[in-house]
Structure 1
Amino acid sequence: MDILAFQNAFDIAAEFEGLGEVKQVEERVFPDGEVLVRIPPVGREVALVLRLYPNVNDNFVKLVLALDALSDAGVQRVVLVAPYLPYTRQDRRFRPGEPISSKALLKILGGYPISAVVTLDLHKPYVADYVPRVAVRNLYPATEYAERLSGVDVVVSPDFGSVHRAEAVAKALGVSHTYFEKYRDRETGAIALYPRHDVELRGKKVAIVDDILSTGGTLVDACRSAKTLGAAAVFAAVTHCQLLKDARERVRSCLDKLICTDSILNEFAEVRVGPILRRELERLL
């Protein structure tokens, strides 16, 4: 299998040495903003590696163009390796007239000879079911987080939607887990977060886990609630750290430590995604 990598993911593709020859996709941006790619000669099976964030719209167009070129070149099997899949937060129709963006994205990819998509920590795992023909391998670095959260007493998710992440990390650590529920004061309107099942946080080292850190609002609210409830220390492990606006300052003001992956390059990236993705790619070969 040939390993075909975009420039922004060559550090990831370097982890795949020995699985196949690593080749680079040529990329161009024209003065009017249009993009173009050129693929080198490849065999019948290709692993295509790229980061879709940042510049998600341009990068997605580049991905589609590369897939079309591979299809025209007669490639019969493509494994797409993209550690972060954008648009998956729109996993259902929240208001009439809106698209289900994650379904639309996967349907486009499903029109090409992709046999599998290898990715990390989809916002909602069920979006993989939108295109049954494509096997979506949704990986979660629970073991890698647990190795860096030694000594934590409780793992918490900011809401019920992330409780499966908390459960996975807690299992790897051998500790309990829970999630926060929102409660609104009927008189003041103030919102408070409390752990489900009356799990005690006082005096405990707490780890908050989530999939995406964008502006940091959700994570900081959970951190402050944990400290209000008496947590001795609060850590966080977040897979895709966008760190937009003043997110860095906000999380530093509350968290004792933030752990991210390098699915999106950032200064908190302690967990390298390359070895995780390689293990799954080896299973697919």
Structure 2
Amino acid sequence: MPLGGLNLKIVGGPSSESLAKKVSDVLRVPLAKTTSKRFPDGEFYFKFEEDIRGESLLIIQSLYPPQDKHLIELFIILHTCRDLGANRIIVFIPYLAYSRQDIRYLTGECLSSAVVSEILEALGTSVVYTVDIHNEEVLKKYKIPIYNLTASQDLAKYFAKKRLTRPFIVAPDDEKMAVQRAKIAADTIDAEYDYFTKKRDRHTGEIETFKKSMDVKGR
């Protein structure tokens, strides 16, 4: 079915089957027929039940915990799409795991975000979409187009319908993306916002959040 000039089919990964069905219904785009299961030893099996040669596919697979399990599922699906001759592979990853580290803070550290981006590219991904990525600098690691969408406005509108008393938006820390999301949400419903300040120990990973005075009484 055409979508932006593409004859598209949606592939729902195991972590996002219900979301894929909802997207399919909203966009009126068919779901590709697939089968997936786990072998007794826990290994993942995936199969297309139709010919996808020459097709444009939208794979929907979130990488929320357990991240490694959902990552290997995505990689296997991508490899299958490429191997069976899909023409264009679009990947929607609502939660993009391993998006915290884009630089080496300590000598010898891995760049996990680069590992994910390089594998996605190597497996034939044409474009990636994600939602509210943890660290926007990670986007620069990709050599293929990647788009970071935000749900801040929609979430703010949802909670605004709850008849809240003088809503106040608080970001959990002072990182750029967290503060930006809080500001977008606050602007959407004409509310105030603030944020906490944190400090991370580069060796242990332990986080210290500092106390801060905020006018939240009665809100």
Q: TM above 0.5, one fold?
A: yes
Contact kept in structure 2, 1:117 and 1:137, CA below 8 Å: yes
Q: How does 1:153-168 map to 2 (within 5 A)?
A: 153-161=167-175, 162-168=178-184
Distance apart, 1:154 and its partner CA: 3.1
Match of 2:107 in 1: 96
**What is residue 215 of structure 1 aligned with on the other side?**
none
Matching of residues 79-94 of structure 1 within 5 Å: 79-94=90-105
Deviates more, 1:160-169 or 1:91-100: 91-100
TM-score, normalisation: structure 1: 0.61
- Taking a change above 3 Å as real, the CA distance of residues 37 and 163 of structure 1, as seen in their structure-2 partners, is same
Q: Trace 1:59-138 onto structure 2 (pairs within 5 A).
A: 59-133=70-144, 135-138=145-148
1:20 matches 2:29: yes
Gaps of 5+ in 2: 1-7, 200-207
Output one character per residue of 1:162-220: Cα deviation in whole Å (capped at 9) or x when no partner.
1111111111112232222359xxxxxx974226xxxxx33x4xxxxxxxxxxxxxxxx
Q: What is the CA-CA distance between 1:24 and the residue it aligns to?
A: 4.3
Which runs of at least 4 in structure 1 moved beyond 6 Å after TM superposition?
none
**C-alpha contact 1:78 1:114 (8 A) present in aligned 2:** yes
Shift of 1:30: 2.6
1:194 lines up with 2:212 in the alignment? yes
Match of 1:106, SS?
helix
Q: Alignment identity in percent? A: 25
> Which residue is equivalent to 1:172?
188
Please list the CA deviations of residues 218-274 of structure 1 after superposition, one character each: whole Å capped at 9, or x if unmatched. xxxxxxxxxxxxx334xxxxxxxxxxxxxxxxxxxxxxxxxxxxxxxxxxxxxxxxx
1:8 counterpart SS class: helix
2:18 alignment counterpart: 11
Matches within 5 A, 1:143-158: 143-150=153-160, 151=164, 152-158=166-172
Deviations 1:133-183 (A, max 9, x none): 2x2221211222212332444322122111111111111112232222359
Instruction: Verify: 1:30 aligned to 2:19, yes or no.
Output: no
Alignment of 1:38-49 (within 5 A): 38-40=47-49, 41-42=51-52, 43-49=54-60
Structure with higher strand content: 1
Q: How far 1:7 sits from its partner (Å)?
A: 3.7
* Structure 1 Cα separation of the partners of residues 20 and 209 of structure 2: 45
**Judging changes above 3 Å, is the alpha-carbon distance between structure 1 residues 194 and 111 closer, same or farther for their aligned structure 2 residues?**
same
Q: Match of 2:75, SS?
A: helix
Q: Is the 8 A contact 2:9 2:56 kept in 1?
A: yes
d(CA) in 1 for partners of 2:112, 2:167: 37
CA RMSD of aligned residues (A): 2.3
Distance 2:174 2:118 in 1: 28
Q: Is the 8 A contact 1:6 1:24 kept in 2?
A: no
What's the CA shift string for 1:33-82, capped at 9, x where partnerless? 33221123224200011233333222211211111111111112111112
**DSSP 3-state at the match of 1:114:** coil
Q: In structure 2, how many angstroms separate the alpha carbons of the residues matched to 1:191 and 1:68? A: 42
Query: How far apart are the structure 2 equivalents of 1:29 and 1:14?
Result: 21
Distance 1:193 1:66, change over 3 A: same
Tell me, yes or no, if the aligned pair for 2:196 and 2:210 is still in contact at 8 Å: no
Unaligned runs of 5+ in 1: 184-189, 196-200, 205-230, 234-285
Partner amino acid for 2:87? Q
Instruction: Find out whether 1:2 has 2:9 as its counterpart.
Output: yes
TM-score computed with the length of structure 2 as normaliser: 0.78
Distance in 1 of aligned mates of 2:189 and 2:121? 37
